[in-house]
Structure 1
């Protein structure tokens, strides 16, 4: 009986943590502050704080919306380009900063460091946002209104905070007569929300043709999470080292049209609906433990409260149970498998006509342990109906996992910077991004791609990204500017300092 009660207690605790862990929690590595001297956070004057807040407010007011590939608000994109030139004249006029437009509306800055022998790096962001109507918002989404220390508006979290934060940091460095030692690029895409084909992809192609290789690249992604991970009391920072893959399929059924008074046994809609139902009723297999997500709980084990720390440190035993519990909620189910989402369904033209065709669009986000071909093969097997034609719209495999060990220059520079700016963070962990970013277009330029947004998120903030009442605290935004300022300075190191040997190694 005691053994049975013990197992029940463990399962209850596992359920609580699994349901509470959000989609932002991925593969982890607990870290202590890095060796060596740490910079003190840069202090901004009252005037500088007001300037950076007003600069972000003005950026939010410009509705740079992307609707679909090739369909973006071009007039707003042009206005945004003129706006940043007006707000950051030092950046655009500096003798060692070169600016150019790519793909019509994207921006590429080349910052020439004083030592051309050091390999450059890149800061990546995007100026476009998803659509937003006034309905459901506390304030209009493009008003840039401030309430209780928060700036509201579409793009405050995704991703104008990074665009303006990077340029603001560069402006402050120039104001302080700082010239970077290591060269770097600032790339600001204009169509990330609709795949980045006209922005980031063209920037990457331009740099690749010029033979550019990057030491590392940092884009938007995971963040500092406070109270998001149940069972961990202190804030943790997660740095994305990979992304799930994606495949979008069009399913089509064609049948002879006819009158509804003499219907066939099965219509195109019925056949396709049955196929879609089979996909939803038969999800892709659970792969928990076969990808990088297993290390999330193992490496963060010491951060969990008792007895979860014991469970997470022994996933060799508990992984099957943890994996099954993670399937209970959509946010954690995305950790353990390739997800299936039916997003579009089109059929029929009139109430009394048997439709000649029916189309459905299905999007899969591919687990790191699977490939596009494997997902496609499983999809065909589940549908099991030759009358349903399958066409691939777009597909790419999960991205390679970027290095994050002690010798990884980019990861350790980011880690050092997080510790300096977010000193109250208890652990820094590499992770898997469920969503996709512009960074995937730069795979040919570097193997060290990291995804971290220098923002502080609580559980109630997660739904605001792409949702209603998106906002950022002005204090958090100031920290974000500090983060990019410190990152630029920290990246001037020619190489990582060698770690001190511990006592047991002497």
Structure 2
């Protein structure tokens, strides 16, 4: 109950000071087992040493910050009110990503109250600027850990979730554990022409030329690369949960490729290719003045089988107009693919924890189509996973960075139980058996 009250509290403010966190998790901050430091003024780094120094530590990540929200956009309640309606807590951050912040700390609080002392040490990193790239929070946490010479068995961050009724034709819920994430690039397109009076317009304006370039990009999406990255394994793992004839198709994707169906939905189209989204278009200062400059910004999420350089070449050839200048604002290639076979300690331990708690769920590897703080940690761990047991049902995907973001009280409790069990499951030296019982909370 206290954890639920504080989940409401953290939707009202950006949890930043150690004093605020200390009030809610007194055992975490008073325990001799837990070492804590504030990084870059607002991020938090915790270290819980293990009793067995031979066991390589792991790390749990989450982020405190949120994207803006305006109640005038159509929220049912003010977006920072944390109001409860029909068993759901509404508020910005409830599923991105304060549910993990609270779930991790609440689980640790409960474990310490019970006298728990881990065998395998672990870190907790709570970044404060993930939504703007993590350049201060995550990157400074990484610098601190590098100075200490830390190497990690695996990292678990936000990313994918439990999808229930979201994938068309799939029978039952599926938990997708992100083993990689797409790359990203922001490209600026610009056209410059001499300004003039609107009463004497040229045949083509700077806005018209740029609009044509943007239309060509939208009419000619990046090529389908399904099967050339780890996303193919996602559907092979899920094949048995589809009905016929989709089950047969999914089980024999070397012969069949259900791409036409997948292209129709933005949710599944993102698995097939590098996506192209025109997000900003700027030009003009007055209704009777022909603007000299027109600019558009294009955000691309890069498929694991492509690179930033290949994407830029595709844009250049598709635009096909020398008058349109292209500039790479920023970008990075897709992240390495983490292990997910039967010998992968991190993946199998997360999977075991999931199946013990949700035996009805099918677990599969997946590709995270968004980006997380974990991309800054690649020097510290070979295996990075992106998952939280947040249940996503039809309509919920629009709540991420959208209106009426919410989490059910039941799901928040499930998050606490998941981290409570995961921390204990990581204490073993050998890979877990697949169906042993979970820990009682």
Find the aligned partners of 1:257 and 1:307 in 2 and give their Cα distance: 59
Aligned position for 2:398:
463
Question: Does the CA-based 8 Å contact 2:195-2:292 persist in structure 1?
Answer: yes
Aligned position for 1:339:
275
* Pair 1:379-2:379 in alignment: no
* Pair 1:477-2:415 in alignment: no
The 5 A counterparts of 1:17-28 are none
Question: Does the CA-based 8 Å contact 2:50-2:121 persist in structure 1?
Answer: yes
Aligned position for 2:84:
146
Aligned position for 2:26:
89
Of 106, 119, 123, which aligns to 1:168? 106
Of 151, 161, 168, which aligns to 1:230? 168
Question: Does the CA-based 8 Å contact 1:59-1:83 persist in structure 2?
Answer: no
Q: Which digits, 9 at most, give the CA deviation of each residue in 1:91-147, with x for residues without a partner?
A: 112212111111221111111112223211100000111111223222221112222
What is the TM-score of this pair, normalised by structure 2? 0.94
Aligned position for 1:410:
346
Find the aligned partners of 1:498 and 1:167 in 2 and give their Cα distance: 27
Q: Which digits, 9 at most, give the CA deviation of each residue in 1:445-489, with x for residues without a partner?
A: 111110111222222322222222211111111111011011111
Say which is worse superposed, 404-413 or 342-351, in terms of deviation.
342-351
- Structure 1 alignment gaps of length 5 or more: 1-49, 65-75, 501-506
The 5 A counterparts of 1:65-464 are 77-78=16-17, 81-135=18-72, 136-319=74-257, 322-425=258-361, 427-464=362-399
Say which is worse superposed, 413-422 or 134-143, in terms of deviation.
134-143
Aligned position for 2:11:
60
Paired residue secondary structure (1:316): coil
Question: Does the CA-based 8 Å contact 2:90-2:405 persist in structure 1?
Answer: yes
Find the aligned partners of 2:174 and 2:321 in 1 and give their Cα distance: 47
- CA RMSD, 1 decimal: 1.7
Shift of 1:332: 2.0
Find the aligned partners of 1:359 and 1:479 in 2 and give their Cα distance: 46
Say which is worse superposed, 169-178 or 458-467, in terms of deviation.
458-467
Find the aligned partners of 1:497 and 1:141 in 2 and give their Cα distance: 41
What is the TM-score of this pair, normalised by structure 1? 0.83
Find the aligned partners of 2:365 and 2:433 in 1 and give their Cα distance: 21
Paired residue secondary structure (1:462): helix
Find the aligned partners of 2:281 and 2:24 in 1 and give their Cα distance: 45
Question: Does the CA-based 8 Å contact 2:352-2:432 persist in structure 1?
Answer: no
Find the aligned partners of 2:433 and 2:218 in 1 and give their Cα distance: 51
Find the aligned partners of 2:355 and 2:261 in 1 and give their Cα distance: 33
Find the aligned partners of 1:499 and 1:198 in 2 and give their Cα distance: 39
Find the aligned partners of 2:276 and 2:418 in 1 and give their Cα distance: 36
Shift of 1:61: 1.7
Paired residue secondary structure (1:317): coil
Find the aligned partners of 1:310 and 1:265 in 2 and give their Cα distance: 55
Find the aligned partners of 2:63 and 2:177 in 1 and give their Cα distance: 18
Find the aligned partners of 1:498 and 1:77 in 2 and give their Cα distance: 39
Aligned position for 1:37:
none
Paired residue secondary structure (1:340): strand
Question: Does the CA-based 8 Å contact 2:34-2:49 persist in structure 1?
Answer: yes
Q: Against the structure 1 CA distance between its residues 424 and 375, is the aligned structure 2 distance closer, same or farther, given a 3 Å change threshold?
A: same
Aligned position for 1:33:
none
Shift of 1:497: 5.1
Find the aligned partners of 1:148 and 1:325 in 2 and give their Cα distance: 35
Shift of 1:498: 7.8
Paired residue secondary structure (1:232): coil
Question: Does the CA-based 8 Å contact 2:63-2:97 persist in structure 1?
Answer: yes
Find the aligned partners of 1:433 and 1:498 in 2 and give their Cα distance: 27
